[in-house]
Structures are given as C-alpha cells and as structure tokens.
C-alpha cells in the first residue's frame, strides 16, 4: 500500500504498512469499548462513503478500468473519498490493480493467490517489491491517471495523511475521541478487510459464470460487504464494463449508484454489459499497460 522509502530495512519489509495496519487494528479493537449509537452511525456512513463511493465506484470502476466518466470536479471529490480509505493513492492503487488483471494469479500479480490466502489477503503488502512498487513500474501502468496533479499529490505521504487528519479532527469535534476510534480506525479496518477479500476470498470461494484462465470466483458474501465487488469472476471476464453483477440475483449496489448518477445526467462514456453480447468466447484478456 504505502510508499516505503522512509521505513524499509534490508529485507525489504514495508514497516510503514506493517506499523500502520497494526495501529489501526489496535484502534479498531479499542473502539469496541466505546460503543454508542452515534459512533456506529458515523462508522456506517464513512464505511459507505469511503468503501463504496470511494474505492469500489471510483478507484476501481472509474479510474482503474475507465468504465464510465464523471465531471472532473465530481471525480476529484469521489477520489478523495477513496483516498480516505487509506489504501494508497489513486495512482498506485490503480497500477497494482491493473497489474493484477494483466497477469492474474501468476508471479506477475502483486497478490498472486497461488501463494496462499493470507498472502493475497494481507501479507503481500508487507514487503517492498520493486517489480510492483517502484515508481517507473507504477507509471507504466497509469500514464492516463498520472497526468492529474491532484492525484500525484494524493499518492504522496502528505496527500494520504492530511485528508485523514482533517476528517479525524471533524469527528473529534462532533463526537470526541471515541468517535475517532469508530469513524477512523474501526471503519478503516472493516473497509480494508472488504477490499482484501476481493483479492483473496474471491480467488478461492464461490462459483464461476465464465471460464476465465484465472481462479476468480463469484462470492456472494464478499459482494454484500463490498457493494458488488464480490462478483469477481464476472468482473475478470468483463473488466471493461461498469457492471459486476450479471445475473438478476447478483446484487450490485455500486452499479445502482452509477445508474442513478447516469439518470441525473452526470455520467458519460458508460461502458455497459448491455451493449455487448455475453458469450464465453468473448471473455476478455488481461488489462494491457498503456505506453
Ligand atoms: Zn482478481
Ligand atoms: Zn478490476
């Protein structure tokens, strides 16, 4: 996740990520001692804003896959929501996700599921690996995103931490320190595990609608906690369209929001599954780097 230039030892351990994730899990556990209705509501709202609007809708479907477009100011707002999930800046996040789609479940995949559930869920972020983390490699996959100065700033340490600190101050002002534990630490840990399950669980458990060459699967409970991302076999097969749910029962809350924004006239360049003929022979190959 984070750049590890500051704290990384000779073995390449990414201590920035390890220490940050440990601290957030500790904060999340502490939050449970301060349960209140206001704290739960604040965490739920921020779970939706950062997890659904930020990561799923904007980091993933808009930036990484370009399945639709929004007015630039609105795109910047939703990308800021994604940055508040503290999963790295939009450029690095999109680059590593595109690497995953380019070579899924191989040694060229940052969270190769053949290395085990825990590796694809979490520990792949604990080591700095130049082939996935170096700036030239990241730029090779994200030239279309890197041209935006605001996104370059969000990829810096200051760009990652400053919005979070401002949010923490607002929560402290509204509800005190215990609301910070719920709205920042517990909420962030829950969004983390939801996103991480898309990298891990959906490459291990569930059913397949399409015969993709990777191990991707549709996992209903991951779709529930990630607002539609659990229909991952569908997504690997048709990563260039906005929908992740393809059958009528595959609930895709994120697509419902994109459709709502579309009805409001805010969405352009929408790439929909309705416009292509679904057939196993038309399953897409991996994302190819630009340039
Ligand atoms: Zn995948
Ligand atoms: Zn994807």
**Model confidence pLDDT, tens digit, residues 89-124:** 999 999 999 999 999 999 999 999 999 999 999 999
**Model confidence pLDDT, tens digit, residues 199-246:** 999 999 999 999 999 999 999 999 999 999 999 999 999 999 999 999
Give the number of other CB atoms < 10 A from CB of residue 24: 18
Q: Does the pLDDT value for residue 6 go beyond 80?
A: no
Q: Residue 169 C-alpha to ligand 2 middle, in angstroms?
A: 33
- Identify which of 247, 250, 269, 248 has the alpha carbon closest to the alpha carbon of residue 258: 269
Closest ligand to C-alpha of residue 229 is 2
Q: Which of 5-14, 136-145, 229-238, 251-260 has the lowest mean pLDDT?
A: 5-14
pLDDT for the residue numbered 4: 42
* 225 Rama sector, left if φ>0, alpha if ψ -120 to 50, beta otherwise: alpha
Query: Which residues place a Cβ less than 5 A from the ion ligand 1?
Result: 216
| pLDDT averaged over every residue in the chain | 92
What is the Cα–Cα distance from 184 to 188, expressed in whole angstroms? 6
Asked whether 51 and 191 are in contact (CB, 8 A), the reply is: yes
Q: Residue 180 C-alpha to ligand 1 middle, in angstroms?
A: 32
Q: Residue 167 C-alpha to ligand 1 middle, in angstroms?
A: 31
Per the DSSP assignment, residues forming a β-bridge with 13 are 127
Closest ligand to C-alpha of residue 111 is 1
Q: Residue 112 C-alpha to ligand 1 middle, in angstroms?
A: 9
Closest ligand to C-alpha of residue 96 is 2
Q: Residue 103 C-alpha to ligand 1 middle, in angstroms?
A: 10
Nearby residues of 215 by Cβ (< 8 Å), 6 or more positions away: 104, 105, 113, 114, 203, 204
Q: Residue 218 C-alpha to ligand 2 middle, in angstroms?
A: 13
In 3-state terms, what secondary structure has residue 207?
strand
What are the residue ranges spanned by the domains of the chain? Answer: 15-282
Q: Residue 64 C-alpha to ligand 2 middle, in angstroms?
A: 7
Nearby residues of 264 by Cβ (< 8 Å), 6 or more positions away: none
**Model confidence pLDDT, tens digit, residues 29-62:** 999 999 999 999 999 999 999 999 999 999 999 9
pLDDT for the residue numbered 276: 72
Q: Residue 240 C-alpha to ligand 2 middle, in angstroms?
A: 9
What is the Cα–Cα distance from 70 to 75, expressed in whole angstroms? 6
**Model confidence pLDDT, tens digit, residues 174-200:** 999 999 999 999 999 999 999 999 999
The DSSP code sequence of 89-110 is -HHHHHHHHHHHHHSTTSTTST
Q: Residue 8 C-alpha to ligand 1 middle, in angstroms?
A: 28
């Amino acid at each position: 996740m984070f750049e590890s230039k500051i704290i990384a030892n000779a073995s390449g351990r990414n201590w920035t990520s390890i220490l940050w994730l440990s601290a957030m899990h500790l904060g999340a556990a502490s939050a449970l001692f301060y349960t209140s209705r206001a704290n739960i509501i604040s965490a739920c709202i921020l779970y939706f804003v950062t997890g659904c609007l930020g990561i799923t809708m904007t980091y993933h479907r808009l930036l990484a896959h370009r399945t639709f477009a929004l007015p630039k100011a609105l795109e910047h707002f939703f990308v800021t929501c994604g940055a508040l999930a503290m999963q790295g800046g939009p450029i690095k996040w999109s680059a590593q996700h595109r690497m995953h789609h380019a070579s899924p479940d191989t040694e060229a995949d940052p969270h190769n599921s053949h290395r085990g559930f825990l590796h694809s869920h979490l520990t792949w972020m604990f080591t700095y690996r130049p082939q996935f983390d170096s700036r030239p490699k990241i730029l090779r996959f994200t030239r279309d995103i890197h041209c935006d100065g605001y996104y370059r700033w969000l990829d810096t340490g200051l760009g990652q931490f400053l919005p979070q600190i401002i949010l923490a101050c607002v929560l402290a002002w509204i509800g005190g320190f215990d609301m910070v534990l719920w709205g920042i630490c517990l909420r962030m840990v829950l969004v983390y595990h939801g996103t991480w399950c898309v990298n891990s669980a959906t490459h291990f458990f569930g059913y397949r609608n399409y015969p993709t060459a990777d191990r991707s699967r549709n996992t209903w409970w991951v779709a529930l906690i990630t607002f539609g991302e659990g229909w991952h076999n569908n997504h690997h097969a048709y990563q260039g369209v906005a929908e992740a749910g393809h059958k009528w029962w595959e609930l895709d809350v994120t697509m419902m929001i994109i459709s709502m924004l579309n009805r409001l006239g805010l969405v352009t360049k929408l790439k929909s599954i309705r416009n292509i003929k679904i057939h196993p022979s038309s399953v897409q190959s991996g994302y190819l780097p630009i340039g």
